[in-house]
Amino acid sequence: MNRILRSVLVVGAAAAALAACTSTNVGNPTPAPTTGGGATSTTKTSSKPSGPAALDIRKFTQDPCAILAAGDLAPFGNFDAPKAEADGPNGPSCAWDGKDVLEDSSYQVVLVVKGATLESFRESNKSRKVFREATVAGYPAVSYDTASGTLDCNTAIGTSDKEAVLIQATVGDGDKAFAGKPCDAAEKFGATVIGKLKG
């Protein structure tokens, strides 16, 4: 009989201990603190793309030779009257040929409005023997040549994400400023063109 009583007491004590361990306090939940109205700060992002503003080159598609005046050409040498081409593979163009084909440098400006972009010029010419990235008058550009890069060079300048201006330079033997550096010549001529396009 004493053994049974002790067993009952042990079981009762264990149950009481278990109840004490598993008891919870019942009460009203406390809401999380909130900040005052309008205190939350947000970061605004601009939808305007980074980089220089797009240039309108289509205003010269009817007369590409009107981009540059005689005074703009003076630093680059002596030229014959400009010759326009209304519909080339990439768009209308204007050529300024040197008066002396051997001594004077020649330039051509192409308004690229038929789908080619700076990126497409980059991708199709980056394996050329002569290729370099450049910035012309604040606009991204690439200069390239299929040969040695000492006589001829092309510079494509991105005027927007859909259009470009292509400068083709051939340096004359008498051009002391750019002798052996046609890419420098093309980029310099391109900077003059971009300046005029900016207005």
H helices present in 23-106, as ranges: 70-73
Banded pLDDT at 50 (limits 50, 70, 90): low
Question: For 150-194, how does the pLDDT look when each residue is reduced to its tens digit (9 = 90+)?
Answer: 999 999 999 999 999 999 999 999 999 999 999 999 999 999 999
Write down the domain spans for the chain: 58-198
**Residue 148: per-residue pLDDT:** 84
Q: Which CATH architecture has domain 58-198?
A: 3-Layer(aba) Sandwich (3.40)
Name the residue among 158, 162, 161 with its Cα closest to residue 194: 158
pLDDT for 64 equals 98
Residue closest to 149 by CA, chosen among 104, 186, 119, 117: 186
Per-residue pLDDT band for 199 (boundaries 50, 70, 90) equals: confident
